[in-house]
Amino acid sequence: MNSLQKKILSEGKVLPGNILKVDGFLNHQIDIALLKDMGKDFYELFKDKNITKILTIEASGIAIACYTAEYFNVPVVFAKKGQHKNVGKDVFTAEVFSFTKGTSYEVAVSQLYLKPDDRVLIIDDFLANGQAVLGLQKIIEDAGATLCGAGIAITKAFQSGEQLLIDAGIDVKSLAAIESMENGTVVFRD
């Protein structure tokens, strides 16, 4: 069991509606020692892929992406949500549909920071419906760069997103793939 899985069992909270709250260590308050372990775990999963850049989406992906990038010794780029006036005019964009909110939002990455020779690892905190990663995949393709994989902290394996990404040809790996959260008990896959 890795550090994230241990933390989820000891401090995560399961709320009605299959909601897993990790606000105490990942999404609102951040435990830096945990992030370092997660970065190292992601590095072990993708270290053979010659990654040149880590791509994530603001806001809660940023910290995880940074500590992962540190092990790869590459920069992070975070896609900006919504209004991206200050990203500049030359941007790659994608629409991301949020099932939670029932609406779409746009994500944007400046063309300055994704190039055709980039080998990109996507890092994100949660995978449920997979729409955010598919949006980032489109942006990477538009840049002519290579998507080498998606490292997800917590995957709700009982939802459709993971299979959707696999079907889209993405090498998805999760630190904590949750099979079920019945009666408030988190069960990991494997």
Among 47, 88, 166, 189, interactor with its own copies by CB under 8 A? 88
187 binds its own copies, rule: CB under 8 A: no
**Neighbouring C-beta atoms of residue 162, cutoff 10 Å:** 24
- C-alpha to C-alpha distance for 146 and 16, rounded to whole angstroms: 39
Which is closer to its own copies, CB of 10 or CB of 73?
Answer: 73
CB 190 to its own copies: min, Å: 28
CA distances 137 to 44, 55, 120, 144, Å, are 22, 10, 10, 11
- C-alpha to C-alpha distance for 71 and 40, rounded to whole angstroms: 6
Can you tell me whether residue 35 is helix, strand or coil?
A: helix
- The stretch among 20-28, 132-140, 144-152, 157-165 that binds its own copies (CB under 8 A) is 20-28
Given a contact cutoff of 8 angstroms between Cβ atoms, the answer to whether 149 and 176 are in contact is: no
CB 112 to its own copies: min, Å: 7
- The stretch among 29-37, 118-126, 135-143, 175-183 that binds its own copies (CB under 8 A) is 29-37
Q: What residues make contact with its own copies under the rule CB under 8 A? A: 23-24, 28-32, 35-36, 58-60, 62-63, 66-67, 69-70, 73, 75-78, 80, 87-88, 109-110, 112-113
